[in-house]
Amino acid sequence: MCGIVGIVGKTNVNQVLYDALTVLQHRGQDAAGIVTYQDDRFFLRKDNGLVKDVFRTRHMRRLVGNVGIGHVRYPTAGSSSSAEAQPFYVNSPYGITLAHNGNLTNTHELAEGLLRSDLRHINTNSDSEVLLNVFAHELQKQGKLVPTQVEIFEAVKAVHKRCKGAYAVIAMVTGYGIVAFRDPHGIRPVCYGKRETEQGTEYMIASESVALSAEGFTLVRDIDPGEAIYIETDGQLYNQQCAENPQLTPCIFEHVYFARPDSIIDKVSVYKARLRMGEKLAEKMMKECPDYDIDVVMPIPDTSRTSAMQMAYRLGVKFREGFIKNRYIGRTFIMPGQSQRKKSVRQKLNPIELEFKGKNVLLVDDSIVRGTTCREIVQMARDAGANKVFFASAAPEVRFPNVYGIDMPAASELIAHNRTVDEIQEAIGADWLIYQNLDDLIECAKEGNASIEQFDCSVFNGEYIAGDITPEYLDKLEKARNESSKRKKNKEFDDDHTVIDLHNND
């Protein structure tokens, strides 16, 4: 998962891009990058790390210009190489730089075609670099010295025909403007807004509406699936549908976990959707366990707080904050190594023992993926003196890997894979476990926008909305992720021994 932002402004946009990326930091903590344009030159800074660590004053001073794009990422399929930090850049044609959120599912075929037919070399393992080169090649085929919106949209049409999977893209064409487009299924979110200044109208494109509102931009709308918008450097905006059969089928996991609750995605309030998740889960609990004996409901910070609050209200049970989060520890879901993830849980959360002692506690999380974190948290609740520990997931069982830009583990590493709910309950050490029904989850997310006929729910039901996902593809994906996991473990082992050797030398 990544966060993207682009701005066509009237004054220097470096600070606004920086601020927008900090708002989108929850979408990726592995790397960050900003590129701006002025006087026929790009000015680029990108590196591994959080936004606040990648950009120093000396970097910001060099990022001049009133047009720019930015990106935050976490590693796809376990990769955390700084070479894959975005935005990416190609010289021909014109000079294009691109930021991408999502994942292409035919990357290998595209890369081979780029080399054999298009004579373009790919320098990294990133599908985003492949996507950039596809777009650049298709734009070059238009053969215009000065591209207009006509050539831009023709290139996007060709991208839709060649690329499969999920992609929300912002690209900057040197001296001409910014183009943003979304895959024909609209799997990954992207929207745009504007604000009026003394110098004129400024536009911002971003993964989530919260980035717009935080910087004083008014949300205009989401970019439609298959649609492209092109904003010239002088502020002229064009839009066109570039896909043949677009259909909005967004990723439902955005509402479960990734998006901030203060965002509006495809006209659906993430906050309201999560309130409804808590409501539905409480109703299910009252049906399945009418004699529930719960003293207190507690969220596992932070994403589940909204659902837990509504669940407590509907059950008529006290809502309490039982865990305090250390804000300076990164998301365990995003951390690349399993051993690193295990070590970080107790550093990340600390229980308030008075809220647990002698009570029957219902812990609410947004979802359960590997189960490592919730198993540790259940044990922490017991260590703090809880009498019984019940566990509720605001999402259904995660049984299948994600192929559209969420770096979930291989299926064999998912705690719900080939396990019943009772077996999962035993594995995490809870006294009782309840999951959200998939139909209820869909209803919760759909209520805000009746025009959404379908969501991508592939992690729950194994139905991959963009198609072409075969068992062979998933096998290759699992092998790739397993190899990546081995490399991570070896690196951690090597790092540990380096520390020991240095200590011995002392």
User: From the annotation, which residues make up the binding site?
Assistant: 303, 365-366
Length, in residues, of the chain:
506
DSSP state of 254: I
Annotated binding site for Mg(2+): 303, 365-366
Partners of 2 in the beta sheet?
73
In this structure, the number of other CB atoms found within 10 A of the CB of residue 503 comes to 8
Kindly list the distances between the CA atom of residue 129 and the CA atoms of 71, 104, 202, in Å, as whole numbers in the listed order.
14, 11, 28
d(CA 18, CA 379): 39
Parallel, antiparallel, or unpaired: how do β-strands 360-365 and 388-393 relate? parallel
Which of 2, 163, 242, 251 is labelled catalytic? 2
Query: d(Cα 334, Cα 409) in Å, to the nearest integer?
Result: 11
Task: Return d(Cα 68, Cα 7) in angstroms, integer.
Answer: 6
Whether the CB-CB separation of 270 and 255 falls below 8 Å is answered with: yes
Residue 2 annotated as catalytic: yes
Max alpha carbon distance in the chain (Å)? 75
Buried b (16+ CB within 10 A) or exposed e, 257-294: bbbbbebbbbebbbbbbbbbbbbbbbebbeeeeeebeb
Nearest to 438 by CA among 286, 294, 289, 284: 284
CA 112 distance to own-chain centroid: 27
3-state SS, 155-204, equals: HHHHHHHHCCEEEEEEEEECCCEEEEEECCCCCCCCEEEEEEECCEEEEE
Q: Do β-strands 388-393 and 432-435 pair in parallel, antiparallel, or remain unpaired?
A: parallel
Contact 99, 119 (CB under 8 A): no
DSSP H or E stretch at residue 251: none
Q: How far from 461 is each of 185, 400, 417, 437, CA to CA, in Å?
A: 18, 7, 11, 11
Give catalytic residue positions. Answer: 2
